[in-house]
């Protein structure tokens, strides 16, 4: 049977895959596994959600599961995922629960769990929660049941936390923020205005169904137009739960997560604040990012794809900056998870500190053309052992030299192998990728 928890909690189509019954069972089991660690007081949980319609239904189910297991619930309402992680720590809660499917469309939803301190759960704790689903246990009654409270000034506390990390005011900076009709709609514009920016918010009127719909970090077209039309200095694109941040410069050019990490890394290094002059990134970060960091004396430690693996490496080694090309950026001096608003503020602070426009800052790296081909209906398990594929990869890398890169990565859920090639030109990258994809399809095809 497939593992219930993915790389970022439990996710599925709300009321079909992710039913109220499953949400209640997950909450009950999580309460027993995590809440039982505190014997000095009744355990408490912080519960938040993004504005999608199904969040109301799942919030009721999770609340019932937690209180039925004897856990007090602090309802934080609609807030970004990193806000719930922060509040889990600041309220000294035993558990944090965020209901969101991030950048997915409105019919989807998910459950993300945080341990005390606001850290993501390790795999073994998730496995223990899954093993406890629907098991027999002694249910509390009477005064043993949990209570429900509104989290005191949750949004205000989160904004204050963001601003406590801010090193420069943004007076005179004109900003357009695309809130993706998601959780950023409640806090982003206010946070940016409080440090002096002139803010135009778009897609900031969620109705429960329009989250991520043609907007946000996965659809930046409206943001690009708004930045150019309003003659703004920068555009910020968040996703549905605001743990991501992409940017747009004054000319309407998209600035991705690799470029944002490069700008912040150089800023921290210049201020003597980048731990061991090292940044953590995934294998999917553009080669141009890695070459730029090498040229600036910054080491890059690579992990598997997924912000949880970036976080694990950062915590294990004590590094304070990491992230993904998609815009998940982790500033661990101030956050336990990726925080799109914190990232945006750090990026805009560097513009204010240096007086340089975003395009100039982002030019520290050149994104190499990247081609990605999904080769379907192949046997993922034979990828590393197949001689023909290994020889083709070696030949491709020799062809590209140090100015290009090849990466073959099996899908975690489908009979698909992803062939990624970076080169100095689009044509060269496409040619090498097509050639490799043909070898993979021929050598590893399912019978």
| Residues annotated as catalytic (active site), given as ranges | 102
- Does residue 393 belong to any structural domain of this protein? yes
What residues does 302 pair with on adjacent strands?
281
Which of 152, 169, 202 is the C-terminal boundary of a domain? 152
Token couple for 124: 């073994």
Among 343, 362, 381, which residue terminates a domain?
362
Q: What is the pTM of this model?
A: 0.91
User: Which CATH number belongs to the domain containing residue 31 in this structure?
Assistant: 3.40.120.10
Q: Is residue 5 part of a domain?
A: no
Note the pLDDT of residue 38. Answer: 58
What pLDDT, on a 0 to 100 scale, did the predictor assign at position 153?
Answer: 93
Final residue of a structural domain among 362, 389, 412: 362
22 and 145 together in one domain? yes
Q: Residue 188 domain-assigned?
A: yes
225, pLDDT greater than 60: yes
Are 328 and 375 in a shared domain? no
Instruction: Convert the pLDDT of each residue in 272-324 to its tens digit.
Output: 999 999 999 999 899 999 999 999 999 999 998 888 899 999 999 999 999 99
Query: 314 and 378: one domain?
Result: no
**Rounded CA gap, 75 and 88, in Å?**
11
At residue 96, the pLDDT reads 97
Give the domain CATH number at 395. 3.30.310.50
Whether residues 270 and 183 fall in one domain: yes
- Give the pLDDT mean for 35-59: 88
Statement to judge: residues 124 and 139 lie in one domain:
yes
Average pLDDT over residues 237-243: 97
Summarize pLDDT for 113-150 with one digit per residue, the tens: 999 999 988 889 999 999 999 788 899 999 999 999 99
Q: Is residue 120 part of a domain?
A: yes
Question: Does any domain span residue 3?
Answer: no
- Asked, for residue 2, whether it belongs to a domain, the answer is no
Confidence of residue 37 (pLDDT cuts 50, 70, 90): low
Q: Quick one: 281 and 393 in the same domain?
A: no
The predicted pLDDT at position 2 comes to 65
Strands across the sheet with 278-282, in order?
A: 299-303, 278-282, 321-323, 329-331
For residues 384 and 395, give the distance between their C-alpha atoms in angstroms, rounded to a whole number: 16
Contact 122, 81 (CB under 8 A): no
- Whether residue 412 is predicted with pLDDT greater than 90 in this model: the reply is no
Please state, in angstroms and rounded to a whole number, the distance separating the CA atoms of residues 239 and 111.
16
The answer on pLDDT for 1 being more than 60 is no
Residue 414: the pLDDT is 77
> Is the pLDDT reported for residue 341 higher than 60?
yes
116 and 205: one domain? no
Residues 6+ away with beta carbon under 8 Å from 160: none
Given a contact cutoff of 8 angstroms between Cβ atoms, the answer to whether 78 and 53 are in contact is no
Mean pLDDT of the chain: 94
Q: Do 147 and 130 have their domain in common?
A: yes
pLDDT at 390 over 90: yes
Supply the range of the domain harboring residue 380: 370-444
Mean pLDDT in residue range 51-75: 97
pLDDT of residue 413: 65
Same domain, 220 and 145: no
**Residue 42, helix vs strand vs coil:** coil
In a domain, 4, yes or no: no
Total domains present in the chain: 3
Say whether both 53 and 130 belong to one domain: yes
Residue 1 lies in a domain: no
Q: What is the largest CA-CA distance in the chain?
A: 72
Whether 268 and 387 map to the same domain: the answer is: no
* Residue whose entry in the numeric block shows the structure tokens 């990193």: 82
Q: Are residues 268 and 172 part of one domain?
A: yes
Residue 379 exposed, middle or buried by CB count within 10 Å (0-12, 13-18, 19+): middle
């Amino acid at each position: 049977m497939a593992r219930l928890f993915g790389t970022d909690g439990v996710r599925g189509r709300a009321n079909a895959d992710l039913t109220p019954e499953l949400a209640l069972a997950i909450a009950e089991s999580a309460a027993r596994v995590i809440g039982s660690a505190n014997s000095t007081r009744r355990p408490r949980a912080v519960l938040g959600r993004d504005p999608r319609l199904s969040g109301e239904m799942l919030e009721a189910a999770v609340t019932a599961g937690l209180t039925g297991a004897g856990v007090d619930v602090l309802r934080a309402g609609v807030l970004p995922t990193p806000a719930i992680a922060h509040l889990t720590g600041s309220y000294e809660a035993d558990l944090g629960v965020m209901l969101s499917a991030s950048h997915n469309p409105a019919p989807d939803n998910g459950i993300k769990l945080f341990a005390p301190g606001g850290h993501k759960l390790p795999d073994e704790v998730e496995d223990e929660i899954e093993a406890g689903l629907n098991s027999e246990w002694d249910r509390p009654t009477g005064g043993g049941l949990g209570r429900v409270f509104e989290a005191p000034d949750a949004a205000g506390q989160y904004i204050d936390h963001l601003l406590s990390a801010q090193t420069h005011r943004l007076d005179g900076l004109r900003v357009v923020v695309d809130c993706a009709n998601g959780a950023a709609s409640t806090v982003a514009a206010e946070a940016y205005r409080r440090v002096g920016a002139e803010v135009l918010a778009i897609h900031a009127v969620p109705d429960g169904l329009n989250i991520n719909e043609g907007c946000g970090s996965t659809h930046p077209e409206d943001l690009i137009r708004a930045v150019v039309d309003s003659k703004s200095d920068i555009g910020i694109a968040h996703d549905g739960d605001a743990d991501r941040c992409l940017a747009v410069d004054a000319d309407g050019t998209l600035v991705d997560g690799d470029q944002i990490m490069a700008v912040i890394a150089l800023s921290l290094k210049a201020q003597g604040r980048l731990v061991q002059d090292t940044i953590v990134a995934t294998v999917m970060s553009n080669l141009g990012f890695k070459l730029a960091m090498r040229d600036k004396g910054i080491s890059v430690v690579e992990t598997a794809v997924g912000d949880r693996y970036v976080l694990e490496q950062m915590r294990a080694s004590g590094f304070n900056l990491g992230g993904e090309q998609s815009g998940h950026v982790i500033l661990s001096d101030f956050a336990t998870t990726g925080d799109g608003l914190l990232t945006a503020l750090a990026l805009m602070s560097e513009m204010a500190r240096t007086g340089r426009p975003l395009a100039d800052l982002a030019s520290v790296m050149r994104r190499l053309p990247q081609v990605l081909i999904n080769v379907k209906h192949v046997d993922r398990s034979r990828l590393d052992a197949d001689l023909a594929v290994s020889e083709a990869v070696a030949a491709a890398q020799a062809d590209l030299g140090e100015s290009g890169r090849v990466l073959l990565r099996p899908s975690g859920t489908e009979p698909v192998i992803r062939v990624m090639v970076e080169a100095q030109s689009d044509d060269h990258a496409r040619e090498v990728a097509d050639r490799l994809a043909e070898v993979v399809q021929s050598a590893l095809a399912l019978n």
